[in-house]
Structure 1
């Protein structure tokens, strides 16, 4: 593991194959201008307040992270070491971003983030950046980009934005600040070692200028962005300039790994397997289940792959995760107050392979069929200071096997514990209830699949047993799923 100074000391964990990074913050920072909170009149505790942008982003629940770059054309999952794939490899002869967008719709994605530049250094959009090489000082253009490939004249970022706009899908960009193999940059710094074939020698200052110029390009040319991905964070030297640039150009964007540079941060969950801890809180900045006592609202994003073995870029003979596993991923991410960001991986032709498109749609179809509608109660009661919600089905008993709770977090996440009880049709006493689920964090959404399976019930009851302020429930529903 390698360490780099960001806002505090972050421990970076490299994923095995794709040579991208997430960061793990070792402790929560002290007072910050970024976080806002209120004091509960009920308990006197601090309650972190979200921004409207964070709430809107969290409510989307499903998104995609599109890995398509020159790394698609090599055997490894991304550039490792000092590998710089020859630009002649980049030949997506059927490239069609409308095809990508249709697959997003079939899955149910509400937003999409496209890799603009990954660790290889290849830039997917035309760039006007020129820079001096070291030690001669000769000025050259950034030639490791799409304009110097067989796709000269195309702007994949622009095409992606246009395709998503037609389908009303929000958009964002991934641009790794801390890696660029073309310049032999690792963990944010130009390395002092022998250059490999294809690499270009520059100074650290030149590299930082290039990053800022290219961020300015992609943050100004494509309109308002929903999300900006800082995979691996940023160095301490870059934090200030990036903060200023983000505030100037895209202040409303959600910033993944962005605590300290954005008022709208989101955090990584600490794994790429599509599993959020339970409980998982909307507050706290460590890359795990968060912290219910934190005064910082920083919801989690769960990024994971469709392909097996944590593979992000399309691979020859790669296998897909089975639908049953992806359904479990949905329940262990969205169902645990985490937004699910599933990898979308075009192949070397530049389109989504049919078997991949089918699996995305299968998952989307399950989610829609299971949770698109709920069993409608004949009567709904809310009593006891909003802490008890009862759904009655007296006129027509129903069979259900799970419950979904959504908390209104406009004034912060306040629920700390709950139970879900059911009243069986064949209960010996009409007022007899049995507990089928219990938990702590609710947040944007908590799904409880009852361990006792499907039951014929007259009523379902949600009881908020602990909160730090008056709870507000956005929705409480029950379902029967196949």
Structure 2
């Protein structure tokens, strides 16, 4: 205890602290209905999240399930050169419970399933009918699952039921801007000679098809956690999509959805599983964001398990190494970005065993490294929440990294921080050595100390810059292999 008091006496004059208290939990203020608030201490605008955005960020790990007719061709999607024959889609062992088991092994908290990709094949039953151009003949949307060997199977419904049994939240990917079957690129009917299998329709007809099918998948499968707009949407469809989303799925996070949703998330700008450092929870550009933006729009990092940016299962595809995927975790979740890892059923409709093993190996690493933290003897909060100290006086510990989580209920306010340690073998037990520093924290920031493992008596987090009173949700230290 004498050593503890000595440390405090040394600390207090340095930071002009006349008061300290133990603080394990911070009280969270209720979210404001405003888009942003004005800081009472600095006068700057602070973007405010919705409760749905905070819940979504807290999930950290999700999967994007690429399973569609493109699974049955050699190309990773439809290149516009041909329309895959609908008879190819025949996952004769299809079992969505098998998918969910791999999600659990990985640690995914949410899953988004591709309902319609660029090929135009719609994996959900659809009642949509439309006129051909120029004849006006009315036909059903017959490039869909009910016209394939899997007629009568509701893959989307089975997926949702399997996920609900294991408390995994669900969502759908439906590309608005691409449909190879209908000769659509960038959301527009193309003025070019039709390829074999393509059919001709007007732009008005295409827009109507999109809205009808979005209504179907947004109204038939319950509350959705996330809706994916891959490539966004056209200006013509923006207003009707906004209305439809507000009517049917107002709580859903909308990826690429700024402008159509009150709960937008942004793309990080790469599919390699790397977020910039810093990466802010605010801003709408496809990069590390903008700390001064009045718009709360957190980032999602989508990437693949297969090498070479391949999303659909491929014959003899190469898998990324476990070490590379661990690095992906640190450069996504560890940089305030949700990691959405591709999940790839093969042509049987199941997850290949070698894939399943790699998902689990990654999940096992995350759980073993970050599932528990090294508990301090005492945890102190000083200088109006700007200094957080963990003391290990009775039992020095070896650690090699730290994890910080900011409480963003009232917005992301921290702008810079440092992490210092007191080494056990130091000749001066009041000396602090800096092991990490950074700017954005947000939902989670992981710092792997460049000096490697350190035997320490204490670790200190200091908020060196903020635009309002900082609130730390969690500050922990770990030793990982």
Shorter-chain TM range is over 0.9
Q: Is the 8 A contact 1:35 1:297 kept in 2?
A: no
TM-score of the pair, normalised by structure 1: 0.93
Shift of 1:35: 7.4
Distance 2:100 2:82 in 1: 31
Q: Distance in 1 between the 2:389 and 2:82 partners?
A: 60
Separation in structure 2 between the aligned mates of residue 155 and residue 181 of structure 1, nearest angstrom: 23
- 3-state DSSP class of the match of 1:41? coil
Work out whether 1:287 is the aligned partner of 2:269: no
Any idea what SS the aligned residue of 1:462 has? strand
Q: Match for residue 353 of structure 1?
A: 352
* Aligned-residue offset at 1:192: 1.3
Corresponding residue number in structure 1 for 2:126: 127
Which of these two proteins has the greater Rg computed from alpha carbons?
Answer: 2
2:405 maps to what in 1?
Answer: 406
How many corresponding residue pairs? 449
Q: Which residue of 1 aligns with 2:433?
A: 434
Distance 1:218 1:250 in 2: 10
Secondary structure of the 1:321 match is coil
Is 1:69 aligned to residue 56 of structure 2?
no
Contact 1:82 1:184 in 2 (8 A): no
Q: Which residue of 2 aligns with 1:182?
A: 181
1:230 aligned onto 2:229: yes
1:197 CA drift (Å): 1.0
Distance 1:473 1:316 in 2: 47
The Cα offsets for residues 272-296 of structure 1, whole Å up to 9 and x where unpaired, read as 0000000000000000000000000
Query: CA offsets per residue over residues 179-201 of structure 1, 9 Å max, x none?
Result: 00110000000111111111111
Alignment deviations for residues 287-341 of structure 1 (CA, whole Å, 9 cap, x no partner): 0000000000000000000000000000001010000000000000000000000
Q: CA deviation at 1:82?
A: 3.8
- 2:87 pairs with 1:88: yes
Whole-angstrom distance in 1 between the partners of 2:378 and 2:125: 59
Pairing of 1:101-120 with structure 2 (within 5 A): 101-120=100-119
Tell me the residue number matched to 1:315: 314
Q: Secondary structure at the match of 2:285?
A: coil
**Equivalent runs, 1:310-389 vs 2, <5 Å:** 310-389=309-388
Q: Which runs of 4+ in 1 moved over 6 A?
A: none
Q: Which 5+ residue runs of structure 1 have no aligned equivalent?
A: 1-33
1:188-199 matches, within 5 Å, as 188-199=187-198
SS of residue paired to 1:183: coil
Please state whether the residue corresponding to 2:342 is helix, strand or coil. Answer: strand
Q: Is the counterpart of residue 458 in structure 1 residue 462 in structure 2?
A: no
Partner in structure 2 of residue 171 of structure 1: 170
Q: For residues 409 and 385 of structure 1, do their structure 2 counterparts lie closer, same or farther at Cα, with a shift above 3 Å needed? A: same
Which whole-Å deviations, capped at 9, do the CAs of 1:116-165 have from their partners, x for residues lacking one?
A: 00000000010000000111111110000000000001010000000000
Secondary structure of 1:410's counterpart equals coil
Match of 1:24 in 2: none
Separation in structure 1 between the aligned mates of residue 474 and residue 466 of structure 2, nearest angstrom: 17
* 2:54 is equivalent to residue 55 of structure 1: yes
Aligned partners of 1:389 and 1:126: how far apart in 2? Answer: 55
In terms of mean alpha carbon deviation, does 426-435 or 254-263 score higher?
426-435
Long gaps (5+) in structure 2: 1-32
- Structure 1 distance, partners of 2:202, 2:362, is 47
Between the aligned partners of 1:339 and 1:403, the Cα distance in structure 2 is 18
Alignment of structure 1 residues 249-328 onto 2, 5 Å: 249-328=248-327
Q: 1:118 to 1:204 in 2, by over 3 A?
A: same
CA distance in 1, matches of 2:182, 2:80: 12
Q: Which residue of 2 aligns with 1:148?
A: 147
CA–CA distance in 1 between the matches of 2:419 and 2:59? 25
